[in-house]
Amino acid sequence: MSLARAWGATLLLLAACADPVRDDRIESLGPERTGVARGPLHRAGQPCLACHDGRAAGTREFSVAGTVFLAEGSERPAPGVRVELVDSAGTRFESATNCAGNFFVAPADFAPRYPLWVALQTGDYRIEMDSPVQRDGSCASCHAREPGKASAGGVYLFFEESEASEDGGACP
């Protein structure tokens, strides 16, 4: 095989690896929020698995991840919330939200078999999702911040902030 043919075949293989739909989805997230470095506190309320799907070198893979806000329409995160996950095989897993309201689960810890049922709990207060997650472990794929035809709205713990205690730490 000539060098030109080998180089052409290599370029063709590299082009075949690109995923324009995935690339567009990541691009649509926009830039990082000013003052929030990449890591467990970044991109609250965005679809985590857009980037954390195991396809990018140097990026942690998640099987399930999302953000819980304090109340409907609020920008305040809900830290320390227990996120309970139960898959179709009856396997249970618990995670907790960090100070940004984010939680994330590595596939090595829990790789759910869909559908997946989700509940949130803080103290004695518990709320369960009305319907199961069918296939995407990125909460914001269905729960974008603004409700609409393609979104049930953000994930929140209370209907009104007045229902919540004033406890909850601020992120560093």
| pLDDT > 90? residue 11 | no
Per-residue pLDDT tens digits for 27-81: 666 666 777 667 776 678 777 877 877 777 778 889 999 999 998 888 899 999 9
Once rounded to an integer, what is the mean pLDDT over residues 153-168? Answer: 69
**Selection from 102, 96, 79 nearest residue 165 by Cα:** 79
Buried b (16+ CB within 10 A) or exposed e, 42-72: ebbbbbbbbbbbeeeeeeebbbbbbbbbbbe
Specify the pLDDT at position 37. 66
Q: Examine residue 21 and state whether it is found in any structural domain, yes or no.
A: no
**Is residue 126 domain-resident?**
yes
- Could you tell me the residue range of the domain that residue 103 belongs to? 39-163
pLDDT at 110: 97
Q: Which amino acid is at 119?
A: A
Confidence category of residue 12, pLDDT binned at 50, 70, 90: very low
Q: How far is CA 99 from CA 3, 53, 165, in A?
A: 54, 23, 15
CA–CA separation, 168 and 125 (whole Å): 15
pLDDT over threshold 80, residue 126: yes
Asked if residue 34 is part of any domain, the answer here is no
Cβ atoms of residues 62 and 48 within 8 Å: yes
pLDDT at 156: 83
Which two structure tokens, joined as six digits, stand for 10?
Answer: 């290599």
CATH number for 130: 2.60.40
Residue 50: name the closest of 78, 30, 72 by CA: 30
Count: domains in the chain: 1
Whether 169 maps to a domain, the answer reads no
Q: How many CB atoms lie within 10 A of CB 145?
A: 16
